[in-house]
């Protein structure tokens, strides 16, 4: 079962409509397409009506019949909008490092539906003392951190900066930098980076 977020994202590609358009252009019925692909007409009908999303091998079988590549169905032909509303209930929190038992922080992407972003925005919740040590990281571009609640220490290179709720910092993220929650109060921030 797909989440509403994944279903909306897949629906934007219009895969079913593209399959149907190719089939009608070739003047094939569902039974004939089924014979060429080895897929049942019922399955093909569900794909065309958007009731089911095909796996990549299934989509490749269909693509081979029409002499097109997978990019015909999932490429840039139907670009996603440069405007997206991200509902709080649709966001997923990810740990700072995959597999961390007690992550130093969890982040939620605030702009994930948009492709070719000019910036990346995250809502971050920093974990309490006892979380695993934050490994410094670095990247190109620019970074802005706005502390929403609590107190946050940000180390950029050798220098540590303490920020309280309402404070912000802009910095060059190419030197190693890391974040650390200070105190027992909840600490959250909005982090914006350029890709």
**Can you give the pLDDT at residue 30?**
93
Percentage of the chain exceeding pLDDT 90 = 47
Q: How confident is the model at residue 45 (pLDDT cuts 50, 70, 90)?
A: very high
**Can you give the pLDDT at residue 13?**
87
Cβ contact 183:151 at 8 Å: yes
Q: To 10 degrees, the CA torsion angle through 45, 46, 51, 55?
A: -120
Question: Which residues have C-beta within 8 Å of that of residue 75, sequence separation ≥ 6?
Answer: 69
Cβ contact 145:189 at 8 Å: yes
Give the CA distances from residue 116 to residues 9, 132, 173, in Å, rounded to whole numbers and listed in that order.
15, 33, 21
Give yes or no for residue 79 having a pLDDT over 60.
Answer: no
CATH architecture of 4-78: Orthogonal Bundle (1.10)
**Can you give the pLDDT at residue 77?**
45
Cβ contact 61:17 at 8 Å: no
**pLDDT: is 9 or 77 the higher one?**
9
Give the CA distances from residue 92 to residues 52, 95, 159, in Å, rounded to whole numbers and listed in that order.
23, 10, 32
Q: Tell me the pLDDT tens digit for each residue of 120-178.
A: 899 999 987 655 567 889 999 999 999 999 999 999 999 999 999 999 999 999 999 99
pTM reported for the whole predicted model: 0.61
**Can you give the pLDDT at residue 43?**
95
**pLDDT: is 95 or 47 the higher one?**
47
Cβ contact 111:84 at 8 Å: yes
**Can you give the pLDDT at residue 28?**
87
**Domain span(s) for CATH 1.10.260.40 in the chain:** 4-78
Q: Is the dihedral of CA 36, 37, 38, 43 positive or negative?
A: negative
Percentage of the chain exceeding pLDDT 70 = 93
Q: How confident is the model at residue 69 (pLDDT cuts 50, 70, 90)?
A: confident
Q: Is the dihedral of CA 160, 145, 142, 129 positive or negative?
A: positive
Q: For 88-193, which CATH class?
A: mainly beta
**Domain span(s) for CATH 2.60.120.10 in the chain:** 88-193
Angstrom distance (rounded) from CA 100 to CA 97: 6
Angle at 18 between CA 14 and CA 23, to 5 degrees: 150
Q: How confident is the model at residue 117 (pLDDT cuts 50, 70, 90)?
A: confident
């Amino acid at each position: 079962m797909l989440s509403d977020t994944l279903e909306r994202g897949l629906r934007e590609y219009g895969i079913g409509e593209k399959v149907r358009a190719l089939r009608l252009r070739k003047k094939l019925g569902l039974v004939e397409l089924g014979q060429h692909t080895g897929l049942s007409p019922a399955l093909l009908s569900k794909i065309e009506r958007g009731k089911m999303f095909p796996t990549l091998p299934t989509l490749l079988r269909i693509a081979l019949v029409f002499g097109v590549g997978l990019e015909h169905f999932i490429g840039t032909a139907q670009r996603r909008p440069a405007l997206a509303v991200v509902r709080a209930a649709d966001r997923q929190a990810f740990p700072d490092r995959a597999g961390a038992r007690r992550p130093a922080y969890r982040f939620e992407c605030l702009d994930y539906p948009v492709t070719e972003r000019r910036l990346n925005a995250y809502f971050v919740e920093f974990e309490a003392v006892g979380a695993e040590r934050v490994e410094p990281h670095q990247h190109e571009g620019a970074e802005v951190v706005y502390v929403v609640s609590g107190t946050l220490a940000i180390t950029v290179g050798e220098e540590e900066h303490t920020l309280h709720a309402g404070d912000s910092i802009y910095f060059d993220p190419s030197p190693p930098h890391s974040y650390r929650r200070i105190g027992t109060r909840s600490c959250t921030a909005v982090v914006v980076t350029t890709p």
